[in-house]
């Protein structure tokens, strides 16, 4: 259990910083929904879907390749770090310049005429993200979770403060006459512009600090390292592209697929803003997965040479599913007060019903991440491309066919269907090439029951607010009690009374 506890401890540090940071960052959703119109939120949703997609191209799987070549190839980790960072800086200069020059064309294609500057800022944001990726990965590999978390928090705080300054404080100071209208070219008609500008400045300012924390860096393109890394990471690039398509395509395509006037009083871009805002309510599940990934990826690679690693991977998966199913129920049954707390405006409440589906989708993404260890440590990364490509095709098909009919529900189902298919395929091939003794039957039962309880609690509506709150959350307690009974052997092992499983 010591390895499992070590992973849990690292995940807790990453999770605490992520939850704290994202909680601070989540306040921006309150700002955006209170101070910006749904159309601006629609622009924000669409442009950041593009950012997520292009971010994969800019980093092209090098974080995972860095972990693999630093731990399992008998290479000097310092040499691997220098070569990987040098390679990313070189490619970023090329890709960033190309995107910067293509900004006018992108603005026309995405229906932002005369706003090419938005996509020039996107090019800079992506470039800054790319050259920070490997220093952050180095901190994770060295188990320097506190240094990693501190840098992430500083970045988030800078972003939040800049958003507050540009969206709230400066306009208020102008109204009160404290500063002149047009101060430093400030424009009160901007919305998504200030979201992008805040992100750009925050990322740029954090670069010197992160590079200092990661340690000395020397430019060096060592062909002995970079050539095999290319072979390993290229399938991960395509996996990443297909994966981000799965995660973001519904938000990106929604406004273009949804028929005009599908929702009375909302145009397609405004409806996309409502849809994208409700994705944010599933952020806690995404936070857990992100924190788990930060800790688990280097941990999995370090444990890969241990003969007992398959059993350890199975235990990690089981614990992950238990925690996430409890979280899914807790969020779903409390959406009636969590939703209005963060999304200001009645228009957003119309899509609350999709949140349990999104939570389950993100949970399955976490399950897929656990399963994917088999092709990463066996160097069969080519399978990753085909699995995620199939997931992407499923996602697009569901959007195209269901969004025009079911609107928000169709978009949410695309996320769930995509990750369900990817999880099933990855499990089947993983058990063939790298068998892991997962508790498959028990894990599936937890997922199904938790999903059912999530919707039971969401739709439960009693006359008394207090009684309603108690009845909804009693489902969480009931599920916890059942888990406690089923997992009494695991709980005994945690408290060092007996060996689990």
Whole-number pLDDT of residue 12: 57
pLDDT at 231 exceeding the cut of 90: no
Compute the distance between CA of residue 30 and CA of residue 28 in angstroms, rounded to an integer: 5
Instruction: Work out the mean pLDDT of the chain and round it to a whole number.
Output: 83
Give the position of tokens 């129920």.
329
Checking if the pLDDT of 217 tops 90, the result is no
Asked if 451 contacts 360 with a C-beta cutoff of 8 angstroms, the reply is: yes
pLDDT computed for residue 19 by the predictor: 59
Least confident of 91-95, 262-266, 427-431: 262-266
Tell me which residue of 107, 124, 123 sits closest to 115, measured CA to CA.
Answer: 107
For residue 501, pLDDT beyond 50 = no
C-alpha to C-alpha distance for 490 and 413, rounded to whole angstroms: 34
Mean pLDDT for the stretch of residues 220-240: 78
- pLDDT of residue 494 exceeding 70, the answer is no
- What pLDDT was estimated at residue 4? 56
Q: What 8-state DSSP symbol labels residue 184?
A: G
Residue 209 neighbours by CB distance under 10 Å? 14
Q: What is the mean pLDDT of residues 429-441?
A: 93
Choose between 5 and 81: higher pLDDT: 81
Question: Measured between alpha carbons, how far is residue 297 from residues 291, 376, 443, 458, 467 in Å?
Answer: 10, 10, 21, 34, 43
pLDDT at 368: 92
Residue 145 φ/ψ, nearest 5 degrees: -65, -35
Average pLDDT over residues 224-240: 77
The better pLDDT of the pair 424, 60 is held by 424
Residue 491: the pLDDT is: 64
* Nearest-angstrom CA–CA distance, 268 and 386: 32
Residue 205 has pLDDT above 80, yes or no: yes
238-242, 253-257, 402-406: least confidently modelled range = 238-242
pLDDT in the model for residue 425: 95
- pLDDT tens across 260-280, in order? 889 888 888 888 888 888 887
Residue where the block lists tokens 């978390």:
149
Highest mean pLDDT among 48-52, 120-124, 149-153: 120-124
Calculate mean pLDDT across residues 214-230: 82
Over the stretch 14-51, which tens digit does the pLDDT of each residue have? 555 555 555 565 667 777 777 777 777 677 777 877 88
Cβ-in-10-Å burial (0-12, 13-18, 19+) of 258 comes to buried
Q: Is the pTM of this model over 0.85?
A: no
Model confidence pLDDT, tens digit, residues 309-359: 888 889 889 989 999 999 999 999 999 888 888 787 778 888 899 999 999
pLDDT higher than 50, residue 493: yes
- pLDDT on residue 191: 72
From 451, 428, 436, 441, select the one nearest 364 (Cα to Cα): 451
């Amino acid at each position: 259990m010591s390895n499992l506890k070590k992973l849990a401890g690292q995940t807790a540090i990453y999770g605490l910083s992520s939850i704290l940071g994202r909680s601070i960052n989540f306040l921006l959703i309150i700002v955006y929904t209170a101070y910006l119109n749904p159309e601006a939120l629609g622009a924000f949703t669409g442009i950041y879907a593009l950012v997520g997609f292009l971010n994969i191209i800019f980093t092209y799987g090098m974080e995972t390749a860095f972990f693999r070549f630093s731990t399992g190839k008998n290479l000097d980790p310092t040499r691997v770090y220098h070569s990987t960072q040098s390679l990313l800086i070189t490619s970023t200069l090329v890709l960033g310049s190309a995107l910067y020059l293509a900004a006018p064309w992108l603005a026309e294609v995405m229906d932002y005429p005369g706003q090419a500057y938005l996509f020039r800022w996107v090019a800079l944001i992506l470039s800054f993200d790319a050259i920070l990726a490997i220093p952050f990965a180095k901190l994770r590999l060295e188990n320097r979770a506190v240094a990693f978390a501190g840098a992430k928090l500083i970045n988030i705080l800078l972003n939040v403060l800049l958003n507050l300054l540009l969206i709230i404080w400066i306009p208020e100071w102008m109204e009160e006459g404290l500063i002149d209208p047009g101060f430093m070219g400030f424009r009160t008609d901007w919305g998504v512009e200030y979201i992008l500008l805040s992100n750009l400045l925050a990322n740029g300012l954090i670069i010197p600090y992160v590079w200092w924390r990661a340690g000395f860096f020397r430019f060096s393109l060592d062909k002995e390292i970079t050539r095999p890394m290319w072979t390993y990471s290229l399938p991960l690039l395509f996996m990443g592209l297909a994966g981000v398509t799965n995660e973001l395509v519904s938000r990106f395509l929604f406004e273009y697929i949804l028929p005009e006037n599908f929702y009375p009083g909302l145009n397609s871009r405004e409806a996309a803003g409502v849809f994208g805002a409700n994705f944010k309510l599933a952020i806690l599940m995404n936070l857990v997965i992100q924190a788990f990934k930060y800790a688990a990826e280097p941990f999995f690679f370090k444990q890969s040479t241990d003969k007992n690693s398959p059993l350890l991977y199975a235990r990690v998966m089981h614990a992950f599913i238990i925690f996430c199913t409890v979280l899914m129920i807790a969020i779903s049954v409390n959406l009636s007060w969590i939703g209005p707390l963060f999304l200001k405006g009645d228009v957003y409440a119309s899509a609350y019903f999709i949140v349990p589906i999104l939570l389950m989708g993100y949970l399955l993404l976490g399950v897929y991440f656990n399963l994917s260890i088999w092709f990463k440590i066996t160097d069969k990364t080519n399978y990753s491309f085909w699995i995620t490509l199939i997931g992407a095709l499923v996602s697009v098909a569901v959007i195209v066919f269901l969004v025009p009919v079911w609107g928000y529900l169709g978009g949410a189902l695309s996320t769930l269907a995509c990750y369900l298919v990817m999880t099933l395929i990855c499990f089947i091939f993983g058990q063939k090439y790298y068998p892991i003794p997962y508790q498959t039957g028990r894990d599936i039962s937890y997922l199904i029951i938790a999903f059912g309880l999530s919707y039971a609690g969401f739709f439960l509506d009693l006359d008394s607010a207090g009684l309603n709150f108690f009845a909804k959350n009693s489902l969480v307690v009931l599920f916890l009690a059942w888990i406690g009974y089923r997992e009494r052997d695991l709980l005994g092992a945690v408290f060092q009374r007996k060996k689990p499983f």
